[in-house]
């Protein structure tokens, strides 16, 4: 019963949707972040809500660029759904290398980066700026990260 009501909470009906596809070039990280923010602007979000969304999107898209398609260029699929009750669902999907152990990858400070450029805090940032973060991944198949964020707006 409880699990059902929790699930329902993030399942409200979608009334507007935006989809985009971008090659995993680092120049496109800013584009993805700005495009998602522009689409969400119709909810009249506060500056802080918009900053949270941009930051979380930026982390997820960067992961596609630097991890999923590490030695190659692949396509990043982004879907933004505006749902009843102020819920924003942002799906960021790649068909890259996948994550072997999702639970471990979500641990703060965990990183597979060997060059010492990454902090291992990407998932932690997404979790702290969103209401819920869902990750599905399959080795060599790819990863789908869904960010759920309730926007109350300026009122």
Ligand X SMILES: Nc1ncnc2c1ncn2[C@@H]1O[C@H](COP(=O)(O)OP(=O)(O)O)[C@@H](O)[C@H]1O
Residues engaged in binding ligand X (CB under 6 A): 59, 63-64, 67-68, 94, 96-99, 105, 110-113, 118-123, 143
CA distances from residue 125 to 58, 61, 77, 97 in whole angstroms, order as listed? 10, 13, 21, 22
By CB under 5 A, residue 63 contacts Mg ion: yes
Residue 88 beta carbon to ligand X: minimum distance, rounded to whole angstroms:
20
By CB under 5 A, residue 96 contacts Mg ion: no
For 108, the 3-state DSSP assignment is coil
Distance between CA atoms of 40 and 17, rounded to whole angstroms? Answer: 10
Question: Strands 132-138 and 142-150, how do they pair?
Answer: antiparallel
Distance between CA atoms of 128 and 112, rounded to whole angstroms? Answer: 21
Verify whether residue 84 is a known catalytic residue.
no
Verify whether residue 118 is a known catalytic residue.
yes
Q: Which stretch binds Mg ion (CB under 5 A): 12-20, 72-80, 88-96, 121-129?
A: 121-129
Report the residue closest to ligand X, judged by CB.
122
Catalytic one of 33, 49, 59, 89: 59
Residues lying near Mg ion in the complex (CB under 5 A): 63, 122
């Amino acid at each position: 019963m409880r699990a059902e009501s929790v699930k329902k909470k993030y399942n409200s009906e979608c009334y507007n949707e935006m989809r985009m596809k971008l090659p995993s070039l680092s120049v496109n990280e800013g584009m993805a972040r700005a495009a998602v923010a522009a689409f969400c602007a119709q909810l009249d979000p506060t500056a802080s809500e918009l900053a949270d969304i941009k930051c979380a999107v930026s982390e997820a898209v960067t992961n596609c660029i630097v991890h999923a398609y590490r030695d190659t260029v692949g396509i990043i699929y982004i879907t933004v759904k505006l749902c009843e009750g102020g819920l924003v669902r942002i799906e960021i999907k790649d068909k890259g290398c996948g994550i072997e152990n999702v639970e471990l990858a979500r641990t703060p400070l965990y990183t597979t980066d060997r060059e010492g450029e990454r902090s291992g805090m990407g998932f932690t940032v997404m979790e702290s700026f969103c209401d819920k973060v869902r990750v599905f991944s399959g080795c060599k198949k790819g990863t789908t990260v869904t960010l759920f964020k309730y926007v109350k707006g300026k009122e």
